[in-house]
Structure 1
């Protein structure tokens, strides 16, 4: 009797691969869930197949947590290209051209004085922190502002050149913020590096401090080693005086940068030690103080405590902070919107979908483009639209559609 062929092996599911990866990493479901901002029940749902394969950003987080390749989780399952992409602003090509266009021949155009450039940059910051579509408004100014600040910094001399370089550094900060959470990681790193170079060429400790703050954001988003972020912030802080209001604000901001870096990697004691330093600086500046474009002050220090608790996987403590938070003390619509999203993140970590969706809607009303380009929002809305509480699924789906997120 001829031998019967062996049956084809049953393809292994994503659920089984996820369970095996967690077992190999030696993590319990509660711990694994906490590390990616989800509940133990969510991890269970992934592993028993009641929740499908998540989108790419969560796959990346799971692979990093389990110390495996994404392919170890996905196997032969294909990830559709449209399953997750960063949203690209319509003005991204214009900003890219402005950043990568070089004027190599002399121009007859007279350089703008540093005072004029400073006033234009100040106006751009007001637009960035204002209500409405702040990215779109700033994008309309950036190409010309980049061209003019670069030209003045190249042509002017002495103190005028140094002041123009400071304005140029801030212009790069604005470009970096515009590019954030868009598919342009090379440009984000480029603007960060150029802003630091301009600050050093200006020989301005204050400008160096501002550049270090924004470079810390680049490093955190790229998961660079915390030691490098901390060293940069501390070196920049050492250049500042604490008996000067402007210097003290930037010094406090750099303490906050270190606190956020330590919180992101779970080093709680050091995180709160540096937060205490930032808090002390804010108190010394007074309850009404807020830096005009860095927004450092008591309101921002209090609000970032919420983010730190989230990163430390302490959503209950994050919500205690949120309940006492006075967002009116944060004179920036973009920052208020961000902290509302962070409050939604804390509720989501506790499986409180109704509150999470309501806060995301409120954040969208405060600053639509902050929410549109927020990675957490774009990642969780499809899940809330499909598996969240029934009473808010339609709201989550509608908000996702407004943001251009596939559900």
Structure 2
């Protein structure tokens, strides 16, 4: 029998490997964070274990920065495919065909009027924000809605065409939301670009503001530079008047977009300065106000403060915000589920697995498809199912399987 020389050395964690890799190349946390578009607190969270394995694109960026392989950072920790791959909705092929099919000859049917198209788009927004499988319901409408708004925009002229283009921009917003967190990033960019083009062709500051809000989401998810996101939002906001309720709501929404962009890269002072502007706009609109499809209002502004604290790696402050939130003031099942996921993320940053799973279960009961297609939920649930405290493993495994995630 071989001679024993004491216990085997403990396997290094990802956090320990990340700290060692940064030390090896001689980078401080502020410098490392700045080079990957994150705050020093985020780097600290990675190295303390408060933040788990980041998504694969960020792992690749960290490995390049630290001059090592991804495997040097992850060690023997397995990266579950389900954690890093986006799940495809059954309606994706039909929506993709609708976006990539070009009608080069006029159709025989008369186009629907702008009034009819706006009513159909409005109904689709109600389904998006409603209870149940919102993605599935909207996916069933999108192919015809995209085709009909396109046909009308090519047929009409003058005022009717501009009004139709506004409806078309909103149809593209819905397509962009449907495509988000699915394996079709090129289509998300395509729909964002088309919505902005339609809004500009309509010469509508309101439509341009809506397009800028959704493009801002895409840029943040793609880790584009904050300055580009901020410039787009501020240009769109400059077109709006603040003495008109509809335009004030969109102006406030764009202030919130800038706040979220700065929080994402750890620039807390600027983030909260713009959040204050959004909060002031919500206050001027009234405590009960909520935009019918953008959902901007008091409840939305307050709830996004939770996301900002999470991005700034301030889970304690995030949970203080969560304790004061009344999500019933957010008139959207999808939004409420998203904010519940953000509450779960705050508890996860503190290593509180029981609360994390409980909130994800609540989010699922609020809007199943919001959780199923949320990347944070897809990362954390399989991990908790494998390595979480014994008291939460079974619940995490059950929820992950219900949502179609491999565990």
Fold shared by both chains (TM-score > 0.5): yes
Alpha-carbon shift at residue 107 of structure 1 (Å): 1.4
Q: 29, 40, 48: which one pairs with 1:40?
A: 48
- Counterparts of 1:108 and 1:35 in 2: how far apart (Å)? 59
Which residue of the partner structure matches residue 3 of structure 2? none
CA distance in 2, matches of 1:122, 1:275: 28
* Runs of 5+ consecutive residues of structure 1 not aligned to the other structure: 1-11, 47-53
In the alignment, which residue of structure 1 is the partner of 2:343? 343
3-state SS of the aligned residue for 2:69?
Answer: helix
Can you list the C-alpha shifts for 1:201-231, whole angstroms capped at 9, x where unaligned? 0000000000000000011111111111111
**Counterpart of 2:320 in 1: which secondary structure?**
helix
Q: CA deviation at 1:69?
A: 7.6
Deviations 1:48-74 (A, max 9, x none): xxxxxx5xx534334434653897121
2:18–2:46 CA contact under 8 A, matched in 1: no
C-alpha deviation, 1:388, in angstroms: 1.6
Give RMSD over aligned pairs.
2.4
Matched residues in 1 for 2:350 and 2:79: separation? 28
Aligned counterpart, 2:202 = 202
Query: CA offsets per residue over residues 14-59 of structure 1, 9 Å max, x none?
Result: 968645423234449xx9884486572468xx9xxxxxxx5xx534
Map 1:190-339 onto structure 2 (within 5 A).
Answer: 190-339=190-339
Q: Alpha-carbon deviations, 1:314-336, whole Å to 9, x = none? A: 10000000000010000000000
Q: 1:83 to 1:130 in 2, by over 3 A?
A: closer
Alpha-carbon spacing, 1:74–1:65, altered in 2? closer, same or farther (3 Å): closer
Residue 389 of structure 1: CA displacement? 1.9
Q: Which runs of 5+ in 2 are unaligned?
A: 1-10, 31-38
Q: 1:64 aligns with which of 38, 61, 64?
A: 61
Q: Could you tell me which residue of structure 1 aligns to residue 71 of structure 2?
A: 74
Q: Deviation at 1:139? A: 0.3
Q: What secondary structure does 2:122 align onto?
A: helix
Question: Normalised by the size of structure 1, how large is the TM-score?
Answer: 0.89
Identify if the C-alpha distance between structure 1 residues 358 and 13 changes in structure 2 by more than 3 Å, giving closer, same or farther.
closer
Distance 1:324 1:149, change over 3 A: same
Query: How is 1:34-183 mapped onto 2 (pairs within 5 angstroms)?
Result: 34-35=42-43, 40-41=48-49, 58-65=55-62, 67-68=64-65, 72-74=69-71, 84-183=84-183
**TM-score scaled by structure 2?**
0.89
Q: How many angstroms apart in 2 are the aligned matches of 1:152 and 1:356?
A: 47
Secondary structure of the equivalent of 1:263? helix
Contact 2:162 2:203 in 1 (8 A): yes
